[in-house]
């Protein structure tokens, strides 16, 4: 293996690999990236067996070959070099990296030890709106469960609601205490075959988000077998889907909630931030005391003290007191774009529903706490 490569595109490709590579793994080989040269292309592979990324960089190649090198060490070296051509060659069990008067000998491993990399054959790709997919991720990811024993909740559920020229994408996430659901009519071209909904794991969703933010431009996505595939020109991300049945999330969305409250989003967010400073630091519980035209937000912790704030709201019904985890409500408010939000309630034991005032296709359900 012997080639010359520009520093900037190589650095960009290696940077995208860093969060995928396992820093601490029972399989040390997963701390490496696989380098493979073919003609005038360098392919770089990284995987943790759940999320896999392959990127391609233009090179001036002399000898084809493949080798595995430590991902972080290789990245750190390339990062410190100048934005000039770099010479790379394989010398027995070392990768020789040279630029002007700088020379590095990096230990490497035979490519045969690297795990079999996932591939795909599907041609059913859908060209997506990057901003739209990013927005859907931001509006659901915070509700994904961290409980490893409930593995089927450790990801975002993705499905298409129709298969016409502009299908409706739906993303859902829940941890049992809250739920986020968003529908968006896809501004997309092409075809996407999803016979039933799929669960994209949390790490996979985070990597999708980073790729969408970092590269920009047009992306294509597909689902094949147990893989979710996202590609942009020479970059392909493959995510192994969570195997398991997602719960019937429709049952978690309350239908008859007679108490309808309209409140400005930013003042509510700021009040919750302040009042929750004196809430129990574990439960983060605050009480919303709602009456005609007014909401009081209260917190109390025997060791810390108590706090109270009052907000003007648009409400003309009977009074109600209900307790929520303040962080759960603030997460919803952070994900909303409207200046005002609608909060729908029934009683202090029933879940509350929060929506942006002008977006009925974004639904957030929060379970109450006992007062």
d(CA 200, CA 175): 15
**Residue 278 has what pLDDT?**
96
Confidence label for 148 from pLDDT (cuts 50, 70 and 90) = confident
Residue 212, pLDDT above cutoff 60: yes
Predicted confidence (pLDDT) per residue in 348-365, tens digit: 999 999 999 999 999 999
Predicted confidence (pLDDT) per residue in 178-198, tens digit: 999 999 987 766 666 676 899
Cβ-in-10-Å burial (0-12, 13-18, 19+) of 247 comes to middle
Instruction: Report the pLDDT averaged over residues 309-337.
Output: 96
Single out the residue of 270, 275, 287, 256 nearest to residue 353, CA to CA: 256
**Residue 161 has what pLDDT?**
79
Predicted confidence (pLDDT) per residue in 340-350, tens digit: 999 999 999 99
Residue 24, pLDDT above cutoff 80: no
Residue 127, pLDDT above cutoff 80: yes
Residue 164, pLDDT above cutoff 80: no
CB atoms within 10 A of CB 338: 15
**Residue 193 has what pLDDT?**
66
**Residue 93 has what pLDDT?**
86
Residue 163, pLDDT above cutoff 60: no
Residue 25, pLDDT above cutoff 80: no
Residue 295, pLDDT above cutoff 90: yes
Instruction: Report the pLDDT averaged over residues 170-182.
Output: 96
Instruction: Report the pLDDT averaged over residues 90-100.
Output: 93
Predicted TM-score of the model (pTM): 0.91
Confidence label for 320 from pLDDT (cuts 50, 70 and 90) = very high
Percent of the chain as helix, strand, coil, to the nearest 5: 25, 45, 35
Concatenate the DSSP letters of all residues of 140-187 into one string: TGGG----TTSGGGSEEEEEES--SSSPEEEEEEE-SSEEEEEEEE--
Predicted confidence (pLDDT) per residue in 31-84, tens digit: 999 999 998 999 999 999 999 999 999 999 888 999 999 999 999 999 999 999
d(CA 324, CA 371): 9
Single out the residue of 117, 118, 120 nearest to residue 224, CA to CA: 120
Residue 326, pLDDT above cutoff 70: yes
Residue 342 half-sphere exposure toward CB, CA atoms < 13 A: 14
Who's near 248: CB < 8 A, 6+ residues apart? none
Instruction: Report the pLDDT averaged over residues 265-282.
Output: 96
């Amino acid at each position: 293996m012997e080639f010359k490569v520009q520093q900037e595109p190589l650095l960009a490709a290696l940077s995208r690999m860093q969060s995928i590579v396992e820093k601490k793994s029972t399989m040390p080989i997963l701390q490496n990236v696989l380098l493979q040269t073919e003609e005038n292309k360098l392919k770089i592979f990284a995987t943790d067996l759940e999320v896999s990324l392959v990127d391609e960089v233009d090179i001036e190649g002399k000898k084809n070959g493949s080798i595995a090198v430590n991902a972080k060490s290789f990245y750190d070296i390339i990062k410190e070099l100048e934005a000039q051509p770099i010479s790379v060659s394989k010398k027995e069990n070392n990768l020789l990296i040279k630029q002007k008067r700088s020379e590095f000998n990096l230990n490497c491993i035979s490519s045969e030890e690297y795990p079999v990399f996932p591939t795909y054959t599907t041609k059913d790709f859908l060209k997506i709106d990057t901003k739209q997919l990013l927005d859907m991720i931001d509006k659901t990811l915070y509700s994904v469960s961290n409980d490893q024993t409930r593995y089927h909740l450790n990801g975002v559920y993705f499905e298409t609601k129709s298969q016409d020229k502009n299908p409706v994408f739906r993303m859902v996430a829940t941890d049992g205490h809250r739920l986020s659901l968003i529908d968006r009519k896809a501004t997309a071209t092409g075809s996407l075959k999803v016979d039933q909904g799929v669960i994209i794991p949390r790490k996979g969703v985070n990597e999708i988000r980073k790729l969408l933010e970092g590269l920009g431009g047009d992306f294509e996505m597909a689902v094949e077998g147990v893989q979710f595939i996202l590609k942009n020109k020479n970059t392909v991300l493959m995510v192994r889907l969570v195997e398991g049945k997602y719960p019937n999330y429709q049952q978690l969305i309350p239908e008859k909630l007679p108490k309808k409250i309209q409140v400005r989003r930013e003042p509510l967010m700021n009040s919750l931030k302040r009042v929750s400073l004196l809430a129990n630091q574990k439960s983060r519980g605050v009480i919303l005391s709602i009456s005609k035209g007014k909401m009081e937000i209260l917190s109390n912790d025997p060791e810390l003290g108590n706090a109270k704030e009052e907000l003007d709201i648009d409400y003309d019904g009977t009074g109600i007191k209900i307790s929520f985890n303040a962080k759960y409500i603030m997460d919803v408010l952070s994900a909303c774009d409207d200046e005002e939000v609608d909060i729908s309630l029934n009683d202090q034991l029933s879940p509350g529903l929060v929506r942006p005032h002008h977006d009925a296709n974004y639904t957030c359900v929060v379970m109450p706490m006992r007062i």
